[in-house]
Amino acid sequence: MKIICSELYEKQLKEILSEIASHDFKTAKDFKTYLDTIIINAPTKSRKYKQSVFFDDENIKDIEYDKYTIPLLIDDENDSYIVLGIVKK
**Cα 68 to Cα 62: distance, rounded to the nearest angstrom:** 10
CATH of span 2-88:
3.30.2310.20
| Residues 58-78: tens digit of each pLDDT | 999 999 998 999 999 999 999
| Closest of 17, 14, 64, 21 to residue 39, by C-alpha | 64
| Residues 3-61: tens digit of each pLDDT | 999 999 999 999 999 999 999 999 999 999 999 999 999 999 887 899 999 999 999 99
